[in-house]
Amino acid sequence: MNFDKELDARGLNCPLPILRSKKTLNEMTSGQVLKIIATDPGSVKDFAAFAKQTGNELMSSAEAAGEYTFMIKKK
């Protein structure tokens, strides 16, 4: 899947992955896609909740080898 920007949130714990993502999204334009890689197991539900509450679209959420990858399209 194509993306416009990537954020490495590996090793960061709550709430930093969400805060860094929000900050990065602020620098992007509507329709652009942000890819986030995280290791915090809580981030799976957190990114779904973040997307739901902010209106940004969570296009995909995947786990592989203890790493979580999220694709978020900016509103």
Partner 1 sequence: MDEKKLAIIATKGTLDWAYPPFILASTAAALGYETQIFFTFYGLQLVRKDVSGLKVSPIGNPGMPMKMPFGPKWFKDINWNIPNALQCVIPGYESVATALMKQTIANNGVATIAELRELCQEADVKFLACQMTVELFGFEHSDFMDGLDYVGAATFFEFAGESDICLFI
Q: Which residues bind partner 1 (CB under 8 A)?
A: 11-16, 18-19, 21-23, 40, 50, 53-54
State the pairing for strand pair 67-73/5-9: unpaired
Close Cβ partners of 53 (under 8 Å, ≥ 6 residues apart): none
Q: Minimum distance between the CB of residue 12 and partner 1, rounded to whole angstroms?
A: 5
Active site residue: 11, 14, 22, 60, which one? 14
Nearer to partner 1, 32 or 39 (CB): 39
Alpha helical stretches, state H, the chain: 16-26, 43-54
Q: Is 14 a catalytic residue?
A: yes
Task: Assess contact for 27 and 7: CB atoms under 8 A.
Answer: no
Nearer to partner 1, 1 or 65 (CB): 65
Q: Which residues carry out catalysis?
A: 14
